[in-house]
Amino acid sequence: MVLQYIQSSITERGYPPTLREIGNFMGIRSTNGVNDHLRALERKGYLTREDMKSRALRPTVMTGMDEGTNGTNGHSGNGKTNGHAVTGDLIEIPILGRVAAGQLTEALENPEDSVKIDRVLIGGTGHEVFGLRVNGQSMIKAGIYSGDYVFVKKQLDARKGEIIVAMVGDEATCKYYHPESDRVRLVPANDEMDDIVISKTDWRSTQILGVVVGVYRKLN
């Protein structure tokens, strides 16, 4: 039950529950009692935790649960809780090269590389996410630098102020999205650069490739 609650919290909210939230869910008043459950899960290899912090709880892939092993509160230990398979949170994201106009699907089918990361690092999502390498300094005040990789959730729409990847001409660009009554402004996070302004008559819904949900940077 504890493991399922942690997994559900990460899936639905993008981060694990606190000790108090686990206690409320389980009907356990003492945080020491909650820690006893977590330590038991760690010993069995079903959970990892950094420095005893509840927000650093990570369910692992359940490969060691044999048939007939008793689970908490009478659940069978077959790698499932209430009928749902318990899996780890690592997801594989394709890293794309240059994305030309109209060729996102082709690029996704033939990625240059891929990377596995924890689902929680991109807000709990994982469906239709791809990575692109940033070229240029247009988003430096947003903490996105040339050479960084942005993780992008593939979708055709976005909310005002979100950082998107959009097609402008034959190139994909990363900018803030600001739709207005008669135009769309793609706004850089660099005071030395101008907005890209596109009239509504020239703007196509397919120009939005997706919304940025994460950034990865190599330190050396």
The phi and psi torsions of 17 (rounded to 5 degrees) equal: -80, 160
Q: Which of 138, 146, 154, 200 is catalytic?
A: 138
Which sign does the torsion angle of CA 135, 140, 142, 143 carry?
A: positive
Known catalytic residue at 80: no
Beta bridge pairs of residue 211: 153, 164
**Among 153, 175, 199, 205, the one annotated catalytic:** 175
138 is catalytic: yes
Provide φ and ψ at 8, rounded to 5°: -65, -40
Provide Rg for the chain, Cα atoms.
Answer: 22
- 15 closest CA partner among 102, 119, 117: 119
* DSSP-derived secondary structure letter, 142: G
Active-site residues, by number, are 138, 175
